[in-house]
Each structure stands twice: as C-alpha cells, then as structure tokens.
Structure 1
C-alpha cells in the first residue's frame, strides 16, 4: 500500500490549528455529563462493531473488558505471534499488521477502535480513526506528547466521536469519594499531595541496548511498523515487547505509565490543571533512556477560591516521609497517595483511587459517625468499558474520561512532569500558549517531528 505521509512535520503544523482550538475548550470535571449534542455515528439497535489495535500485553485486558459488550470485527497487531491467543478467540475477525490498511479496508464495518499499543503510536492511530468518524478508546497515557493530546482533544470535538482514555479509576467509586470528603472539609483545606509508585518494573537509567547477532529480529515482528512514527533504529533485544516504556522515543517512563492513574483522584478532587511550575530531581537521562528514579514537584497557584497546592511525584523506590498524623505502625504501600489538610490526612493505597483512610485516629472516629453524602453521579458498575460503550449506543452520558472534558487535561498535567525531567531548571507552564516560558529548547518535546513509514 502507499506509504503513509500523514505524520510529517508539515502535516503536524497544519493540524496544530486543531491544537489551538483545543486550548479554548473547557476544562472538565470527571462527572456524568449530558451526552454532547455533537456526538455522531451513534449505534442503536445492535452491538458496537469494534476493532482492536494492539492485542498482546495490555490489549488482552482490554479485549477481556470490551469484547463481551461489542462485536469484535477486526484485530491488528504488528506481531502475530503475540496476537495468536486472541486470533484464536475471534477466528472470524480479519487480521491486520498495519492499522492503516485495516481502517481503509474495514471502514464501513467498524464503529469504534480500541488502541492498546506503545505510547508513541497512540496519537497517529487515534487521530486516523477519529478523522474517519470512529469512536476511540485509548490506553493511558493518552499520548506521547502534550501537543498530540491537544490535537486529539480538538479532533474529537470537531468530528463528534465518543472517546475514552483507559484510566480505570476515573470510573470507580474512590475518586468520587475522595472529592466528596475533601469538599466537605473532612481533613480541612488541602495544600499538599504526595503520590508514589513501584514503577519502573522495566529497565530505566541504563545504556540503550545495541543490536546483537545472537538475538536477531523475531520473524513474526514487523519492526518497521512497530517503530511507526519514531526515528528509525536497528532492532535490538530488550526493547520490544515490554521494556519500551523506558525509551524516550517510545514510552513516557514511570510517570507516563502510572501518573494518569495516581494523579486522577487529586486532579479531580482539587481541580489541578492549568498554569503550573514543575521541577524535577532524578538519577539522570542519557542515551535516550528515562531515569532510574525521579521526584517531581508541581506547584499549582491559587485557583479561584482554592489555595495553592503542592503535588509531589515519586518513582524508582522513592517515597514521601510518613506524616506525623499516621499511627506508628502504618506502612507506606508500594503505590499510594497522601492528601495533607490542615485538620488531618487522607491515605489511599489503591493505584486507581480506592476508598481512602482518614488520619489521625481521633478524626477518623469522629468522621465515622458523620460521613458526607454522595453528591457526584456514579458510573454503572464502575466500568470504564461500559461507560464508553453506553455512550456510543446512546444509552448513557458522555464518558467520564473523554478527551474533550477531562482526559487530555489529565494527560497534559502528567506529561508536564516529563517535560521537567528533560529540563535543567524548573518549567513554568503557560496553558494558553502551550509553552514552557523562556525555554524554547523544550518545544521539540511538546510538538515533536514524525517519521513517515
């Protein structure tokens, strides 16, 4: 088929008009919003015809969650060996290695596309689907760069498609409970939040692997398609199928993997988006590899009546100190979030935002007999998958983590931490212009260039 020229630098500059439009779209609130009147191509009277791109690894879980709710009509993966299990589950679904060929040949037979590929390919696949009027579900982080996220936001609004990012916690009870408790003043005014993860669980902070004659390219892997829009390099073992997250060209590192999960509840509960200053400490970035560990600090200014908030991220074995209000035997879990208020603290040990615990003990006892009412609409069965499918079949409101109202802003906040990792000084982010003030050298990481493949 004809080589794809969609993602040249020229096309990106043309499409950046969509990114400019995205800055004017309202920030979202992670709520059950009325279905947008601009939604088009909704499905009624039958199941959604769903195609999957990326069906090994995380794709397996997304197929498990979505396949019972839809008709699986096409499967795409650059490595047929890793796709074998799901090919066997859906023997009648056509098989593709190249998403472009799938979208071209199956255009009239696909309603929606679920994307579970490497981070760097989320954007080109999602944009190609959206521009064909397909509803899209995209794994987190939504995109590889902030510029890509903004383009997807504008494209989703322009084409009226139903979108969802795969951060499961956005659909669950925990983030809503957290917001209700903070809004009710259970721990007083919150001015500081700490989030940490046990990632990376793949190599980071090491020299990039080199080609090895003893480990040739697997015969089932289409390496050029796997690299996609990234700069071309010779195949080397230790990149695909899992360790790619540690490479700047392909993944967003530990923060990109878990930030859209762990930041979800704080961002929702405290309205953390917009202008911010971000600084980072880390073990060092070299050879195109994300660092072994990092500690990233976001300083959000006052937002209307809300006070400034410091949000701190930890990975690679780093964790915050234990607050004085915690009991002596309380241990910090492998992943967690602590909200510090002027009356007490909330401690959540769930990656996706579970029901937090109140500290100190005296405050928890008082709180147990007078819990705030539930004021935020809940998602059916707490399912991010059902939430998306219900919106496509016009049986539900706009999805909770759709691009226009919420997930692009969450992704942008998350990826600002990576921008700070790539800078030698604090990044002062101007939301209106989508720039790091006084640091034009960072523009290459906000709006990157693309290889035609």
Structure 2
C-alpha cells in the first residue's frame, strides 16, 4: 500500500475514533425508525440492525435475524460486492457501505445493533467499536482471533451494558440442556475426561504461502479485507473461504468447529479457563523423504490436551482432548461396532465415573452409552428450551436486545463465549508453539516449542515456561488499526 493511502486510512481511523468516543459517552439505545401500517410493531419493539460482513454466513445470519419478525436490516457493509450481492437483493431498502468505519461514523444514530460475520482477524476491532457506540452485537464464532481480544470483549460487554451473542447456534439447541439435566441427575457420575473431534479442515492447511501473485478482483477492496493483518499481495482463492487455514486471518479447525463441539462441556460442567495445554501436530511431505512444517499455515491435523481446574460441578480437574484433521479418539467399548460415533465426522464424548454420554455437531442428538440406556431415561426437564433451537439463537438475541441489557437469558453471551473462545485460542497457542522454528549451535533448524506442556498464568494472560509463544496472545496490528478508542 502506498504512503498516501496509508495516511488516508490513518486519518479516516482517527476521525472514526473521535466520533466513537463522543457517541459512546452520550448514546442510549432507542430504536430510531418510525414504522407504521398494519402488521407492524410499535417502534420501541423493533431492532434496527447493521450488518458487517454480509456475504455467505453473514447473509444467513441477517436472514434469520430478519425472520425473527422484530428486526429490520437497515445497513449492509462488505468489502466484496460479489459476496454481498445476496444480502443486497434480500434487503433492497438497506443502505450499502464498503468500509464499516464509514458506516459507523455516518449512521450510528440510526441503528441499534450490529452483526459481525467477517474473517476472524477483524472480529474484535469491529465488535468493540460497535459496543463503544452502545450497540448490541451478534458476532460469528470464534469470538476473536487472539486471547487478549477475547478478554477485552468479555469485559467490554459488561462495561457498555450491551446485549451480546456469539454465533455458535448449537448453544441454543435442546442437546446441551438435556445433557446438563442428565449430568445434574448423576446419570454418568463425575466427568473427568472429554473428547471432541472434527473432520475439518476442509480447506488447505499445512502448505506454504503461494508465490503466485494474482490480480485483485475489481469488486474486492483488498486493503480493507486485510484490516489488522500484515500486508501481503493478494493470492487467488484465499477469499472467500481458504483464509481459515492461515494464522494471519483464521484460527484453523479449532476456531471453525471448536465453539460448536466444546460449548456443551463448558455449559454442562461450568468450565472457564484452562491451566495448561499441550499439542502434537501433523505435517505434510514436501518430497519423498522430507516432512514440511509451514508456520504461517495451520497444520493439517492436531491433537490438543487442555487441563481445566475443578468447578462447582466437578470433583476434580477435567482433561479435554481436541482432535482435528480426521483424528478420532478410541471408540468407547459401550458403543457397538457398527453404531455411529458422534455423527461420524464430528462429535463430543463425556467420560464420567459411572458412565458416558456423547453428542453430535451443535450438541445435537445427545445419547447415553450404551445406546440401550436411552429407551428408559426419566429425568425431569429443568432448563428452559429455546424456541426454534439453533435457528432460534438469532431471535433470542433480538428479543434480548429489545428488552435491554440484563433482562433476558442468552445461550452464548460474551460472559460465556469469551472464556470458551479463550480456551480454543489457548489450544492454538500449543499448536503454534510446536511450529516455532529456531537454530541450534550447528545451524540446524529446531523446534524448541515442540513436545512442551505450556503452563498458563490466567491473570496475566501469558505462558510462563515458553515466552516465544506469548507473541500470539496479543498480536500486533498493522499500522493504522487499533482495538478500541
């Protein structure tokens, strides 16, 4: 990016931050649009929404929010007009922007809430800016790209008293609530070990960055897409999906599926912050005899072990195993040879002192093991179900935002989503530590972080026994981008 463009971006950012500071000091949530006519709710009962990142998942998020019947999609923002086309067609009255900062700057008085469905590396800056304007926020999973950002957003939700929800919609399914009821009833005893696994990634990982520079599509503002990430030349096929496999932008299989598969262990057992983590990672063969490790790219597979301290719902520590890239734990002996483990490619297994239970993606279809036990379960329902389950995750947030901060219960507010995201990102610390390269006295490449157990100081947010990995706890943003005012 040339010097003039950098200065322009910096100037725009300063203007936005000034506006944000003024607005956050004076703003009070009041729906602004005056609606009338048969079938409309009173203005005070509608939520006016602006979407940041409205292609793909962002489009479906806005559709389901709109289908709640109590939300109006008034503003759309996306750096790629190709990706935004469906939302623009779906919401023809919504005003469109390419730069979310410009939209916030010009329109913040005209909307109540914001959805964020951009790549992981820009979640935090967009979300915090919205919260500082007093806006309720719905943010796609994972909540953030690094641990510091997750801790910051968790605190900000309470500070600015806004209604928050992370987009791990399985948290609104009946499954986690049913498993809590089973666990609280003592059906499997005290859980001490959990396994979660996925067949992701389904995008390239464990590869070198392409040396083939490609032309930037005319519909894409590449510099805005990069946002906080280091500047690199555009390469073909990175957008809209393959960015997930690169550490500058994504958080790998853990970020994509971990918020879905590990939500139930957090909600059932009351897990919070891990104390230690270790990982082993897969590699690829770059030729017949040499294995390759590419630290800019997430590995093709990994097995991570996290240790959590005792909670009010456990008798001791809990060990959580995460496996991706098609790796799965040993099948429980209680499961028949031809019976499906999880849902095949993904699943979560709870191991207790008296039994086991498992579930599929989104904590769906919970079952006790052996499966024959499920025919005779008689446990009283004590946790309220969410109407519409996973799809109702969106309406739940809309209703809570209309009611106001602290009035309604949510399935994945930042109070819950923040610690869950931190655990996943801590697991990624161990994965990245394994690929940190160094040189020994003879000049040979070594991997000093491999085969280590990382010890975590939660209060100070740092690994205490391998400092090299702490650079990923709070990453450095590209010049011109900051977190908050």
Category of TM-score, reference length = shorter chain: 0.7 to 0.9
Q: Deviations over 1:17-50 (max 9, x none)?
A: xxxxxxxxxxxxxxxxxxxxxx962656241110
Deviation at 1:245, TM superposition (A): 0.3
Q: Which residue of 2 aligns with 1:303?
A: 311
Q: Helix, strand or coil: the match of 1:137?
A: strand
Deviation at 1:58, TM superposition (A): 1.0
Q: Tell whether the 8 Å contact from 2:121 to 2:144 is kept in structure 1 after alignment.
A: yes
Q: Tell whether the 8 Å contact from 1:136 to 1:164 is kept in structure 2 after alignment.
A: yes
Deviation at 1:287, TM superposition (A): 4.4
Instruction: Measure, in 1, the Cα distance between the counterparts of 2:175 and 2:270.
Output: 16
Aligned with residue 376 of structure 1, among 380, 383, 392: 383
Q: Which residue of 2 aligns with 1:277?
A: 276
Does 120-129 or 319-328 show the bigger shift?
A: 319-328
Closer, same or farther: CA 110–52 of 1 in aligned 2, 3 Å: same
Closer, same or farther: CA 288–240 of 1 in aligned 2, 3 Å: same
Instruction: Measure, in 2, the Cα distance between the counterparts of 1:2 and 1:374.
Output: 58
State yes or no: 1:318 paired with 2:327.
Answer: yes
Q: Which residue of 1 aligns with 2:108?
A: 107
Deviation at 1:259, TM superposition (A): 0.5
Aligned with residue 340 of structure 1, among 324, 345, 351: 351
Deviation at 1:449, TM superposition (A): 1.0
The alignment yields a C-alpha RMSD, in angstroms, of: 2.2
Instruction: Measure, in 2, the Cα distance between the counterparts of 1:178 and 1:398.
Output: 19
Deviation at 1:361, TM superposition (A): 4.8
Paired residues for 1:66-145 under 5 Å? 66-69=65-68, 70-145=71-146
Instruction: Measure, in 2, the Cα distance between the counterparts of 1:187 and 1:391.
Output: 34
Q: Which residue of 1 aligns with 2:478?
A: 451
Q: Which residue of 1 aligns with 2:290?
A: none
Q: Helix, strand or coil: the match of 1:321?
A: coil
Q: Which residue of 1 aligns with 2:36?
A: none
Deviation at 1:381, TM superposition (A): 2.9
Which protein has greater RCO, CA pairs closer than 8 Å, 6+ apart? 1
Q: Helix, strand or coil: the match of 2:137?
A: strand
Closer, same or farther: CA 430–353 of 1 in aligned 2, 3 Å: same
Q: Which residue of 1 aligns with 2:361?
A: 351
Q: Which residue of 2 aligns with 1:20?
A: none
Deviation at 1:247, TM superposition (A): 0.4
Deviation at 1:236, TM superposition (A): 0.8
Q: Which residue of 2 aligns with 1:246?
A: 245
Instruction: Measure, in 2, the Cα distance between the counterparts of 1:6 and 1:269.
Output: 45
Q: Deviations over 1:249-284 (max 9, x none)?
A: 000000111101100001111122224211101024
Q: Tell whether the 8 Å contact from 1:41 to 1:161 is kept in structure 2 after alignment.
A: no
Q: Can you give the 5+ residue segments of structure 2 that lack an aligned partner in the other structure? A: 1-6, 18-26, 32-42, 284-292, 434-448, 481-485
Paired residues for 1:1-400 under 5 Å? 2-4=8-10, 41=29, 43=31, 45-69=44-68, 70-212=71-213, 215-284=214-283, 285-304=293-312, 306-332=315-341, 333-348=344-359, 350-361=360-371, 364=373, 368-382=375-389, 383-394=392-403, 397-400=408-411
Closer, same or farther: CA 2–416 of 1 in aligned 2, 3 Å: same
Q: Tell whether the 8 Å contact from 1:195 to 1:314 is kept in structure 2 after alignment.
A: yes
Closer, same or farther: CA 291–257 of 1 in aligned 2, 3 Å: same
Q: Which residue of 2 aligns with 1:406?
A: 416
Q: Which residue of 2 aligns with 1:21?
A: none
Q: TM-score w.r.t. structure 2 length? A: 0.82
Deviation at 1:108, TM superposition (A): 0.8
Q: Helix, strand or coil: the match of 1:347?
A: strand
Instruction: Measure, in 2, the Cα distance between the counterparts of 1:172 and 1:98.
Output: 34
Residue correspondences, number? 418
Q: Which residue of 2 aligns with 1:32?
A: none
Q: Tell whether the 8 Å contact from 2:269 to 2:311 is kept in structure 1 after alignment.
A: no
Instruction: Measure, in 2, the Cα distance between the counterparts of 1:42 and 1:384.
Output: 23
Q: Which residue of 1 aligns with 2:34?
A: none
Closer, same or farther: CA 133–373 of 1 in aligned 2, 3 Å: same
Closer, same or farther: CA 293–378 of 1 in aligned 2, 3 Å: same
Q: TM-score w.r.t. structure 1 length? A: 0.87
Instruction: Measure, in 1, the Cα distance between the counterparts of 2:308 and 2:401.
Output: 35
Instruction: Measure, in 1, the Cα distance between the counterparts of 2:300 and 2:61.
Output: 29
Closer, same or farther: CA 188–87 of 1 in aligned 2, 3 Å: same
Instruction: Measure, in 2, the Cα distance between the counterparts of 1:228 and 1:98.
Output: 10
Instruction: Measure, in 2, the Cα distance between the counterparts of 1:442 and 1:266.
Output: 26
Q: Which residue of 1 aligns with 2:468?
A: 441
Does 391-400 or 265-274 show the bigger shift?
A: 391-400
Deviation at 1:369, TM superposition (A): 3.3
Q: Helix, strand or coil: the match of 1:174?
A: helix
Q: Deviations over 1:130-159 (max 9, x none)?
A: 111111110000000010011111221111
Q: Tell whether the 8 Å contact from 1:7 to 1:452 is kept in structure 2 after alignment.
A: no
Q: Tell whether the 8 Å contact from 2:274 to 2:423 is kept in structure 1 after alignment.
A: no
Deviation at 1:311, TM superposition (A): 0.9
Instruction: Measure, in 1, the Cα distance between the counterparts of 2:422 and 2:12.
Output: 23
Structure of larger gyration radius: 2
Instruction: Measure, in 1, the Cα distance between the counterparts of 2:89 and 2:371.
Output: 53
Q: Tell whether the 8 Å contact from 2:295 to 2:432 is kept in structure 1 after alignment.
A: no
